[in-house]
Amino acid sequence: MAAIDGLPSLAQVIRTHDLVAKKQLGQNFLLDLNLTSKIARSAGDLTQCDVLEIGPGPGGLTRGLLAEGARRVLAVEKDSRCMPALAEIAAVYPGRLEVLNADALGLDISAHLTPPVRVVANLPYNIGTELLVRWLSPEQWPPFWQSLTLMFQKEVAQRIVAKPGDKAYGRLALLAQWRTDPKIVLTLPPEAFSPAPKVHSAVVHLIRLDQPRYPANGVMLSRLTAMAFNQRRKMLRSSLKAMGPDIEARLEAVGIAPTARAEEISLEKFCALSRGFD
């Protein structure tokens, strides 16, 4: 990769700019440029797309996205220490990289992106799940993005693709699979990062559906799944009793046994239950 863009190795960039990863920012820098290019390729053909990247750090994945042909990259980085390193990348790819020194959780990015848009990111561990839920739960569907290619801790990735009966099955799987086709496309060991985390990581590729997989009341689906999986060992008639005194009848009306537990219930059944509260 260094031969392609003429920039120093990531290890050298980190030394030059004194970019020690900060735990409070959820930073774990991916240093292998072969891996960052592989992640970029797993997002598909980017040549006609704007790409949103959250938490680029020293810019390893940014370089991969640009070298793999992304039309344009919008990189949002909270850590101002990374700005000089990212500016060096922007100079090599004039007009193709915009960097915003901002908190992704408080940013409206719509004015900065031109469709079609794909999101590709090694998300900071401390905000990754929150960002995913936001991207899966906009008021209007389809959303601004075509696909999400995101790195998480492996345990979180498994929760996204889990099926009923799996230990990892829960609210995150339901929200993701209601509106997208998610799959794990890459697993990475701790030693691929600096500093090395205590767990493996995985890249999940989620392709949006033009319409949700099943009709549902989105607000109610989110509320029901939050309540059901917050007390996953309880029977649904107990964990959902705050939904009203007739919850047993509502469950039975959509073919769910009141004595069932949340991890046994399919997405289709949860969607049907949500519609009963319209």
* Cβ 274 vs Cβ 217: under 8 Å: yes
| φ, ψ dihedrals at 243, nearest 5° | -75, -10
Look-up of token digits 């401390």 = 126
Cβ–Cβ contacts within 10 Å for residue 246, how many?
Answer: 10
**How many Å apart are CA 135 and CA 117, to the nearest integer?**
13
Instruction: Write the CB contacts of 197 (distance below 8 Å, at least 6 apart in sequence).
Output: 28, 125, 153, 190
Look-up of token digits 């537990």 = 261
217-237 confidence digits (pLDDT tens): 999 999 999 999 998 889 999
CA distances from 123 to 76, 138, 150, 181 (A): 11, 19, 7, 19
**How many Å apart are CA 82 and CA 216, to the nearest integer?**
42
97-125 confidence digits (pLDDT tens): 999 999 999 988 888 999 999 999 998 87
- Residue 4: what pLDDT? 61
Helices and strands counted in the chain (H then E):
12, 9
* Chain centre distance of CA 64: 18
Q: Is the pLDDT of residue 193 over 90?
A: no
Kindly give the residue spans of alpha helices, DSSP state H, lying in 143-246. 154-161, 171-179, 218-230, 236-239
**How many Å apart are CA 3 and CA 67, to the nearest integer?**
11
| φ, ψ dihedrals at 184, nearest 5° | -80, 125
**Mean residue pLDDT across the chain:** 93
Q: At what angle do helices 171-179 and 218-230 cross, to 10 degrees?
A: 160
Range 152-165 average pLDDT: 96
- Residue 138: what pLDDT? 92
Split at pLDDT 50, 70, 90, the class of 1 is very low
| Buried-exposed string 131-157: b where 16+ CB fall within 10 A, e elsewhere | bbeebbbeeeeebbbbbbbbbbbbebb
| φ, ψ dihedrals at 73, nearest 5° | -120, 130
Q: Are strands 50-54 and 97-101 parallel, antiparallel or unpaired?
A: unpaired
DSSP category for residue 20: P
Range 29-49 average pLDDT: 93
- Two tokens at 239? 């964990």
119-156 confidence digits (pLDDT tens): 999 988 788 999 999 999 998 999 999 999 999 999 99
